[in-house]
Amino acid sequence: MSKQTLKHQITAAIQACLDKKAEQLTVLEMEKGSGAFTDYFVLCSGTNPKQVQAIADEVEVRLKAAGQRPTQVEGYRQGEWILVDYVDFVVHVFSEKARKFYDLERLWKSARRLEPADLEAAPKKRKKTAVKTPTKARKKAKKKRA
């Protein structure tokens, strides 16, 4: 999977979480060689088990529409910590209590925290072109006349 496709899918998962009113959204980019089994974690919280399940459901629906299915979903029935595994990234949806208890941000403190905007494509850089300033152009014109 290309890095751009991966970032697009993570952005879709983030938007799904936000649309279901997820709280404390965090994206962690895992370091190479850290022992992590994935490249990114998307972490968020819901206020009750039904909301936690609704957030996980919306992530699955959005990514399924984009042709991506999770390889594993765990913890759905309990609604305390739902893990949705897409291999290259994992979405963790927690209850507030479970989020504090497991504290994945502390566990993976070497991971780089990202903002959702960091995942969006950077605009392509334009080539710099030489532009003559009016004063330079005037000086050249004076030299030609002289």
CATH class (in words) of the domain with range 3-120: alpha beta
107 vs 53, residue with greater confidence: 53
**pLDDT value at 142 more than 70:** no
3-class secondary-structure state, position 140: helix
**pLDDT value at 140 more than 50:** yes
**pTM beyond cutoff 0.85:** no
Name the H helices within 3-133: 3-19, 49-65, 96-102, 104-107
3-class secondary-structure state, position 41: strand
Instruction: Specify whether the backbone of 8 is left (phi greater than 0), alpha (psi in -120 to 50) or beta.
Output: alpha
Locate the domains of the chain by residue range: 3-120
3-class secondary-structure state, position 8: helix
**pLDDT value at 37 more than 80:** yes
The whole-number pLDDT of residue 124 equals 46
Span 77-127, pLDDT tens digits:
999 999 999 999 999 999 999 999 999 988 888 888 988 777 765 444 444
CA distance 96 to 55: 14
The whole-number pLDDT of residue 27 equals 94
Residues in the chain, total: 146
